[in-house]
Amino acid sequence: MEPRNTLPEQAETPDSPPGYPVRHCFWKYPLIAGGLAALLILLGFVVGSPNTPRDTIAGVSRGDPGGAILAFTQELSGTSTSWADADSRGMGEPSQVFVLNPVSDFAALLGKAVTQAVNTYDQASPTQRQAWAGAYEQALGTITPKTTGEAASLGITPSPDYTQVGSLSGDFGPVPTLVQADLTLARAGHLEQNLVGQDPGHSLQLGTIWLYDHPAMLNYAMTGGFTDDQWGMVKERGFSVGPWYLIIPAIFHVKLPLGATGTGFVLWNLLAASIFLLVVPLLPGLRNLPRRLGLYRFVYRYPTRDTPAAAGRGRQSQATAKTNAP
Amino acid sequence: MLVDNDEAQDEPANGFQDRVAEHGRTRAVLETFAYLPPWGALFKKSAPFYAESYWYCMGGITFLMFIYLTITGVMLAWLGPFWWLTNSVGQVIKATHYWSAQAFFFFLVLHLIRVWATGAYRGRRWLNWAIGTVVMLIGLGQNLFGILARGDWESQFVSMHSDNMLFVEPFFFRLVSPANFTTDFALHVVVIPVIMFALIFAHVTLVRVQGIARPL
């Protein structure tokens, strides 16, 4: 019978290995499967896996209350990170979601001043609200330490000095009261619960979005080298073995033009996928590269003096051997 | 070690005693799995001499790692994030899942090298090369959603960072937001594994139908 898979370029080469069949060659599989299972469980037991505890709104707000004040203020003024993607996430306005809704829900427990502040803010025009929040954000900048040295080069966002927040003066309207009330909720853990309650079908989404408004998460990531432009794609926090197999997308992101943009990154990856799919296997010249390089010599099994197959073991018949010989 | 399909008559007898007579009892017992359902139909019972090499095991071991990922993944999904983040047994299962993923990509790369180095993508086999490439690419995406579904600090940070870079781009039609843990979890546990399993099934079936590529 003629081999059905013979292709024009599959000419016989001087180092072609014998192709006669070897029977019953699966006996190593259970050993490999068992050995690998044991190895993986051992690695899981001894080495473990990345498991840095997640940030919480309460923890971050207690550790850096000035950053929380800044986040709440930027959510009111419309300059927080969450405003950029609010529509695509199907969430409402960050000012409502993170500040006004929670504070309104708890206003009765937070005192008359907070209730009054909510009413004042609700009754104000959008322009007035913007002016109050903008002025307060600007004032917070005056009590924010300047970054220097490595922190400045990394782009670290410093938090306002919380001990000086009370000393700020200006036409801030009810904004300081609102953000202080929200900070009280955040530090007690009530804000996180409120956000889960606002959107129970999207567990943890709102809380995580708020945590990214706070400077702490991104600052930590930049300090530790975990952002994408710091090869963060192939790193894990607190663990030495990261997703090394993402090195090619990481190179696109860090090294290639426009790779740092979403569209550019996607296009570079699509180009790489196209090369894998079409160019490597189909392009004349390139598709024959493996034959020219001869690396297959390290892959095929060749008979040796001690090989049972060479001595005839495993052969089904001389006729089959001839048929299958390349 | 998948086998050459060029010669249908190469299929040897499956009798246990025949195998004992040929290779001894230990080897016959070890390879019994290849003669029983569900694996029996997957494996042919002979391979070309040149392919009886560990290099030709890499695809099979990659599939084995997919099975390990499925087993540990079902355990993790069944008992939930609180269990895998706080319980000591849960942490070991989660870590085994993690290392299985590392092994999956490690053996996948070796399999890719073997297929390329032996030119096993030529002719009609290009279709299977393409399916394998798509499996690899989807696997990389599955890795991203795995990180997002993990529930630790890295999940939080990567969800926001990748969300800002990728998923708000019009290119993706704003289909999903990685900041949504529920979506990440559903994609990682149900949607992508089903697609991967279907593609791997097609990949293995084509290997079975087309057989091992002949030597360069």
Which of A5, A15, A254, A313 should one mutate to test binding to chain B, selecting the residue with the greatest count of B CBs within 10 A? A5
Does residue A193 lie within any of the structural domains? yes
Q: Mark whether A190 and A89 lie in a shared domain.
A: yes
- Separation of alpha carbons A121 and A117, rounded Å: 6
When divided into structural domains, chain B yields a total of 2
Percent helix / strand / coil, chain A, rounded to 5: 65, 0, 35
ipTM of the complex: 0.88
Q: Given A163, A196, A224, which residue is the final one in a domain?
A: A224
Q: Mark whether A65 and A180 lie in a shared domain.
A: yes
Does residue B82 lie within any of the structural domains? yes
Q: Mark whether A169 and A300 lie in a shared domain.
A: no
Q: Mark whether B41 and B77 lie in a shared domain.
A: no
- Separation of alpha carbons B66 and B100, rounded Å: 8
Q: Mark whether A246 and A186 lie in a shared domain.
A: no
Does residue A88 lie within any of the structural domains? yes
Q: Mark whether B131 and B162 lie in a shared domain.
A: yes
| Token representation of residue B30 | 């070890």
pLDDT of residue A306: 67
When divided into structural domains, chain A yields a total of 2
Long-range CB contacts (within 8 A, 24+) of B185-190: B185/B77, B185/B149, B187/B145, B188/B142, B188/B145, B188/B146, B188/B148, B188/B149, B189/B73, B189/B77, B189/B149
Closest chain A residue by Cα to residue B138: A273
Query: How many contiguous H segments (helices) and E segments (strands) does chain A have?
Result: 18, 1
Check whether B170 has a pLDDT greater than 60.
no
Look up the domain containing B22 and give its range: 1-47
Check whether A80 has a pLDDT greater than 50.
yes
List the beta bridge partners of residue B48: A21
Comparing CA positions, the residue from B5, B203, B187, B6 lying closest to residue B115 is B203
CB distance A309 to A8 below 8 Å: no
- Separation of alpha carbons A263 and A251, rounded Å: 15
Does residue A133 lie within any of the structural domains? yes
A22 membership: H or E segment, kind and range = strand A21-23
Does residue A11 lie within any of the structural domains? no
Does residue B92 lie within any of the structural domains? yes
* A34-79 pLDDT tens trace: 999 999 999 999 999 999 999 999 999 999 999 999 999 999 999 9
Does residue B6 lie within any of the structural domains? yes
Closest partner CB to A36 (pick from B103, B181, B182): B103
pLDDT of residue A60: 97
- Separation of alpha carbons B61 and B45, rounded Å: 18
Q: Mark whether A208 and A242 lie in a shared domain.
A: no
Does residue B152 lie within any of the structural domains? yes
List the beta bridge partners of residue A239: A236
List the beta bridge partners of residue A236: A239
End-to-end CA, chain B: 18
Does residue B186 lie within any of the structural domains? yes
| Token representation of residue A166 | 């009370």
How distant is the Cα of A99 from the closest Cα of chain B, in angstroms?
19
Q: Mark whether A295 and A326 lie in a shared domain.
A: yes
B21 shares contact with chain A (CB less than 8 Å): no
Does residue B216 lie within any of the structural domains? no
- Separation of alpha carbons A83 and A76, rounded Å: 10
Closest partner CB to B214 (pick from A10, A23, A203): A10
From chain B, pick out residues whose CB is under 8 angstroms from the CB of A86.
Answer: none
From chain B, pick out residues whose CB is under 8 angstroms from the CB of A230.
Answer: none
Closest partner CB to B156 (pick from A40, A54, A291): A54
From chain B, pick out residues whose CB is under 8 angstroms from the CB of A24.
Answer: 12, 19, 22-23, 27-28, 31, 45-46
Please identify among residues 79-118 of chain B the ones whose CB lies closer than 8 Å to any CB of chain A: 85, 91-100, 102-103, 105, 109, 114, 116-118
Q: Given A186, A201, A224, which residue is the final one in a domain?
A: A224
Q: What residue has token string 């945590």?
A: A211
Q: Mark whether B118 and B170 lie in a shared domain.
A: yes
The mean pLDDT value for A102-108 works out to 95
Q: Mark whether B24 and B116 lie in a shared domain.
A: no
Does residue B121 lie within any of the structural domains? yes
* A4-34 pLDDT tens trace: 444 344 445 556 788 777 776 778 888 999 9
pLDDT of residue A67: 97
CB–CB of B97 and A49 under 8 A? Answer: yes
- DSSP at A1: -
CATH number at residue B94: 1.20.810.10
Q: Mark whether B86 and B56 lie in a shared domain.
A: yes
Q: Mark whether A249 and A150 lie in a shared domain.
A: no
- The number of C-alpha atoms within 13 Å of A162 and in the hemisphere containing its C-beta is 14
How distant is the Cα of B189 from the closest Cα of chain A, in angstroms?
16
From chain A, pick out residues whose CB is under 8 angstroms from the CB of B167.
Answer: 88
Q: Mark whether B66 and B28 lie in a shared domain.
A: no
Does residue A51 lie within any of the structural domains? no
Query: Which three-class secondary structure state does DSSP give residue B47?
Result: strand
- For chain A, what is the mean pLDDT? 86
Q: Given A224, A256, A291, which residue is the final one in a domain?
A: A224
* A251-288 pLDDT tens trace: 999 999 998 888 888 899 999 999 999 999 999 999 99
Closest partner CB to B119 (pick from A49, A53, A290): A290
CA torsion sign for B102, B103, B106, B109 is negative
From chain B, pick out residues whose CB is under 8 angstroms from the CB of A43.
Answer: 95-96, 99
From chain B, pick out residues whose CB is under 8 angstroms from the CB of A40.
Answer: 68, 96, 99-100, 103
Q: Mark whether B38 and B101 lie in a shared domain.
A: no
- Separation of alpha carbons A281 and A36, rounded Å: 32
Closest chain B residue by Cα to residue A48: B95
CB distance A99 to A178 below 8 Å: yes
Look up the domain containing A118 and give its range: 57-224
Q: Mark whether B57 and B132 lie in a shared domain.
A: yes
Q: Mark whether B163 and B92 lie in a shared domain.
A: yes
Query: Which three-class secondary structure state does DSSP give residue A96?
Result: helix
* B87-145 pLDDT tens trace: 999 999 999 999 999 999 999 999 999 999 999 999 999 999 999 999 999 999 999 89
